[in-house]
Amino acid sequence: MSQDLLVKRQFGHRARLSLSRAEVLKTDGQAHAARTMWNLLHAWWRMMPKEERTPANADAAIRQARKDIDFLSVLPAQAAQAVLKAYFQAWKNCWDGRADAPNFKGRLRTGMSVDIPQGRDLNILRVHRRWGMASIPKVGRVRFRWTKDLPVGKHADSENRITGARLIKDALGWHIAFRVQALEVKPDPHQGPEVGIDVGVTVPLALSDGERCEHGEWLTVKEKAKLLHLEQRAAQRKRHRKPGEHTSRRLRRTYDQIAGLRAKAKRRALDWQHQTTTAIARTYGTVVVEALTITNMVKSARGTIEEPGKNVAQKSGLNRSISGEAWGRTVTMLTYKTSRLGGTLHKVPAPNTSRRCSACGFITPGSRESQAVFVCKNPACGWSGNADWNAARNVLHLYRMGHALIPAAGRAVVRRAKRVKPAAAR
C-alpha cells in the first residue's frame, strides 16, 4: 500500500491493574519516590544560579541523590530520568505561556504516578480473553484488564508498537496507561452533514438539527444519600480533630469512601461522553463548536473585602455545574474522533450566540426571557423556538459565514466579518 494512504497515529489506552497487596506497596513506594524526586529537583533549581540550571547538572544531582537517599533507589533509573524530563518540560511550558510555573508536590493533594519510558520493558502478553500480563520494573509481572487489542507479539513492528506507559492511581486503584503508536489507513473525507453544537448545563449538548444529547444523574438515589452521609461524617470527625493533629485512620477511610463514589460518578460521565462523541463523529462530517474560555467562566464571584461579590452561592453552584459537564473534555474527544473518521472540527466566537435570533440575525433585547424558550422581539420576525437549538443554529451559521477561528503561530485568530448577515430560516 502506498505511504500516501497511511497515517501515523499516537493514542493512549488505559487499563485497570490487578495488584496484590505487596505489589500495591511497591508501586506506592515508587510513586512517593517520584514525587520526592520532583521536589528535590525543584529545590535544586531554586538554589542553583541560572547559568548552572542545565539538564546535565540536574542529571548529576539526581544520580547523587539516589546514592545518598536510600528510599529513592526503589524508583527505576529510567523513571527518575522521566521525572527530570517532565520537570524541564514544565518550565518550558511556563516560559511559552502554556502553564504556570512548576511548584512543590504535596503528599495528599498530588496524584500518584510512575512513568515507564521504554515500551520494550513491559513485555506484554495476552494470557486470557479478558486479561493480559505486563512487566513493571522493580515490581514484577502484573495482570491488567484486556479491553482493547494492542500491538504486541507478532502484531508489533517498528511502526505499530507500544512506546511506553504510565502507572496512575486514583480512588478506584492503580491503572496503566499505554502510549501506542500505530500506522493506519488514511480515512476518506467524511461525507456527513454539518452540525453546530451548543453546550449547556440544563441540556449538555444541543445540535443545530434539533437533536439533544442528555444524561441523568451520575449517582443513584442511594449512592447520593450515602455520599451525603459520608461527607457529614467526615465534617464531624474533622471538627473534633485538634489543631496540628494528624488525620485519624477513621477519617482517612471516610475520605477514601467519598473519593470512591466520586470516582464512580466520573467514570460514568466519561462513558457517556465517549459514547456521545463517537456517535456525533460517525454521523456528521463537519462539527462546529463555540470557542469558550472555561477558566474565566468558572471564576469565583467572591470578590474582595473592599468590593465583595454578589450572589456568591448561586455563582458557586453554577461553577460546579459547568465543571461537572467537562465541556473542554468533550471538545477534545470530538477533535480526535472526527479527525480519525475523516471529519473536521471548527470553533467559532462564542459571544451573543444565545442572544441572536437564528432566523433574522438580529439581537433584540428581551428575546431570551426564559432559559428554555427564545422568542424574537423583532417586529419583522417573531420567530420562537428552543433556546439551545437557536444557539446551535447560530454556531453553525457563524461557521458558514466564515467566522471560524484560524490557528496561527500557536494561538487562535478570529477571522471576523464586518457584519453578521441574517441567517435564513433552516
Q: Are 272 and 217 in contact (CB under 8 A)?
A: no
Q: What is the mean pLDDT of residues 387-406?
A: 83
Can you give the pLDDT at residue 412? 41
Most confident option among 163-167, 402-406, 422-426: 163-167
Amino acid making up residue 196: G
Q: What is the DSSP letter of 20?
A: -
Q: Are 219 and 227 in contact (CB under 8 A)?
A: yes
pLDDT per residue as tens digits for the range 297-348: 777 766 666 666 666 777 777 777 778 788 888 899 999 899 888 898 999 8
For residue 256, give the C-alpha cell. Answer: 477514601
Q: Are 367 and 320 in contact (CB under 8 A)?
A: no
Q: Mean pLDDT across the chain, nearest whole number?
A: 84
- Indicate the Cα dihedral angle 390, 395, 397, 399, nearest 10°: -170
Q: What are the boundaries of each domain within the chain?
A: 1-186, 188-215+259-426
* Calpha distance 423→398 (Å, rounded): 9
* Calpha distance 179→163 (Å, rounded): 6
Q: Is the pLDDT of residue 410 over 70?
A: no
Can you give the pLDDT at residue 291? 85
Q: Are 403 and 370 in contact (CB under 8 A)?
A: no
CATH architecture of 188-215+259-426: 2-Layer Sandwich (3.30)
Residue 362: which pLDDT band, with cuts at 50, 70 and 90?
A: confident
Q: Among 26-40, 268-282, 331-345, 408-422, whose mean pLDDT is lowest?
A: 408-422
Can you give the pLDDT at residue 16? 92
Which has more pLDDT, 160 or 368?
Answer: 160
% residues pLDDT > 90 (the chain): 32
11 contact partners, CB below 8 Å, separation of at least 6: 180, 182, 336
364 contact partners, CB below 8 Å, separation of at least 6: 357, 376, 377, 378
Can you give the pLDDT at residue 172? 85
The SS3 call for residue 69 is: coil
Can you give the pLDDT at residue 70? 85
Q: Is the pLDDT of residue 390 over 90?
A: no
* Calpha distance 281→304 (Å, rounded): 44
Residue 184: which pLDDT band, with cuts at 50, 70 and 90?
A: confident
State the residue for C-alpha cell 456528521.
284
Q: Is the pLDDT of residue 413 over 50?
A: no
Can you give the pLDDT at residue 189? 87
Can you give the pLDDT at residue 424? 42
Q: Is the pLDDT of residue 177 over 90?
A: yes
Kindly report the number of other CB atoms within 10 A of residue 107's CB atom.
10
Q: Is the pLDDT of residue 168 over 90?
A: yes
The SS3 call for residue 284 is: coil
Which has more pLDDT, 295 or 421?
Answer: 295
Q: What is the mean pLDDT of residues 133-160?
A: 88
- Could you tell me which of 109, 71, 289 has the C-alpha nearest to residue 194? 289
Residue 366: which pLDDT band, with cuts at 50, 70 and 90?
A: confident
Q: Is the pLDDT of residue 24 over 70?
A: yes
Which has more pLDDT, 304 or 223?
Answer: 223
Q: What is the mean pLDDT of residues 193-211?
A: 87
Q: Is the pLDDT of residue 115 over 80?
A: yes
Q: How far is CA 375 from CA 105, 198, 231, 368, 380, in A?
A: 52, 18, 43, 7, 12
Strands (E), 138-243: 140-145, 161-170, 173-185, 194-199, 205-207, 212-213
Total-model pTM = 0.79
Residue 406: which pLDDT band, with cuts at 50, 70 and 90?
A: low
Residue 238: which pLDDT band, with cuts at 50, 70 and 90?
A: confident
State the residue for C-alpha cell 500557536.
410
| Helix %, strand %, coil % of the chain (to 5) | 40, 20, 35
Kindly report the number of other CB atoms within 10 A of residue 139's CB atom.
22
pLDDT per residue as tens digits for the range 269-289: 999 999 999 999 999 998 999
- Could you tell me which of 308, 297, 284 has the C-alpha nearest to residue 205? 284
